[in-house]
Amino acid sequence: MASHESIVAAKRAERERRIPQSWRLPREIINQFSAQPITIFQQPIPREVSPGILSSRELELTDPKLDATALLSRLRSGSVSCYELTLAFCKRAAIAHQLTNCLTEILFEQAINKARQCDGEFRENGGRDLKPLHGLPMTFKDSFHIKGVESSIGITSLCHKLAISDSQVVEIAEDNRAVIVAKTTVPQTLLTADTDSVVFGRTCNAYRGNFGAAGSTGGEGALIAMGGSPLGVGTDGAGSVRMPAFVNGIVGYRPSGYRFPLDGVRVLGSGLMGSTMIGPVSVAGPLARSMRDIQLFTEVVSDARPWDKDPFLLPSPWLGLEAPSKPLRIGVWQDHDHVHPTPPVSRAFKLAQERLQSAGHTLVPFNGPSIAQVWDLQKQWVEVQDLRHMRKLISSEPTTTIVKKTGILYPPNPAPEVTLDRLHYLNSRIAQLVVSMTTAWNRNGEPIDTLLWVPAAHPAVPFDEYTDLTFTGLMNVIDWPAVVLPLKEFVSSSDVKEDSVPESELFGEEDKRIQELWMQRREEFVGLPLSVQLIGRRGEDERLLAVAKIVHEVVSASQTMSA
């Protein structure tokens, strides 16, 4: 049997061979990125970062200010060909990868061939009757299967094994003529919020090379923020779409459970969490540059009727709901009992509220349940899922630091035996949370339209420090849809001047750890993106997405997408 070292060396060499020599960056530029941030939205991949690789036209086509909806409009008008657009994104994905280590399977050659086919179809049809995603470059988290491509999820024992069929959501994208250019990195085990694996190594944040990209969809988050993909798909079991979206300054959506297909996806053990409506719910969901892109892809998935093939999905035809015409009634979850938000997160949260009030919307205090034990509850459910399979998979390779620190795969205390009584107990705790959240939503006899909350207590953090997933994980526990919305605001020098919470007011050890991390390294956080989280009721996804589109225009100071 080959050693894990030899498997890693072969896999990394194979990946790098797929990047053309003419698309490679000088070593000094790569080193420069690891030492200082590049503010993507203010100056997207400056020319000096891509010398001779991207033309002015390609820089413009891949600029993050141009979202997937706008790109599709250009493709349909014939002002850009599928080949030209795909080539531009392949180049930019190669650059993003060299700066952040965000790709696993590089599919540039196949993508360019597919783009040429799409151009041929355009010519044959005269640009009429095109599929909704015709010619749009896309990427997928490594967990998803693409026929003939590996899905190693960064584990040596799964390398060099080709998928025999497509995941259903991949099939839907390809049937709608999307062009898949790459698969993206995930952490070892998929059970951490920092993307680092033995096979592919560490993925860096798009804004600072020595900070994490979060996880487990970290590669997608970094790639889309760097302009290497206009639209990607990940999975979210405790925030794995929303956390990478948050720390990389893009939009990420966790739909209600049983809406997006999860069949044909690498799973952690003998049972996929939530697939049969027991326990917290893991879902697939998109990451993008705008809310209208999120709506677009969700509608495409719904129109494909994935429930006809997947027995665990609920029929979810696209309803096309509009947001209320009157001012929104928005719940604001200000006070809780787990971790105090750090100064920049608090400022962003307050800023979002101020902008919403100025726009005429009504803010209502939201008195939610205790969340102090939510992350602990979710970790207990993951153990119920059966992690023996994952422990066996990684037994022949080293365990990464973040896997050890997160404490899911190897908890500090032995997990209780899984009995029927224990399942009843854990399920009752979820039920109590759902009832409490619903009561708070409808308090005073008038329900809110949406709930505004923070995505985490901190922005992106240094490597191996993102270990608490409470603020996103709650939505998986109760199975409510949620979306992360970037404010186009960044940690500032004024935030650095703010002290953390006095020790006498701390909630516990996790609160203390995060506040100490902020105080010790706060100067390094300057320039990192800030976001808020918007939450809806289970099954009311169209309503949430319509409301989120309005809210995002307000809280992001209306950075409109280019046409």
| Residues catalogued as catalytic | 141, 216, 240
Q: How far, CA to CA in Å, does 359 sit from each of 156, 545, 553? A: 52, 19, 10
Residue 151: both structure tokens together: 């899905």
CA distance 274 to 268: 12
In DSSP terms, 46 is beta-bridged to none
Contact 250, 486 (CB under 8 A): yes
Max Cα distance, the chain (Å): 71
CA distance 327 to 335: 24
CA distance 159 to 105: 11
User: Which residue spans within 359-412 are E strands per DSSP?
Assistant: 362-365
CA distance 529 to 463: 16
Q: Residue 138: which of 204, 58, 234 has the closest Cα?
A: 234
| CA dihedral sign of residues 18, 22, 28, 29 | negative
Residue 169: both structure tokens together: 């959501």
Contact 403, 471 (CB under 8 A): no
Contact 249, 213 (CB under 8 A): no
The torsion of the CA quartet 107, 108, 113, 118, rounded to 10 degrees, works out to 90
Torsion angles phi and psi, residue 483, rounded to 5:
-140, 140
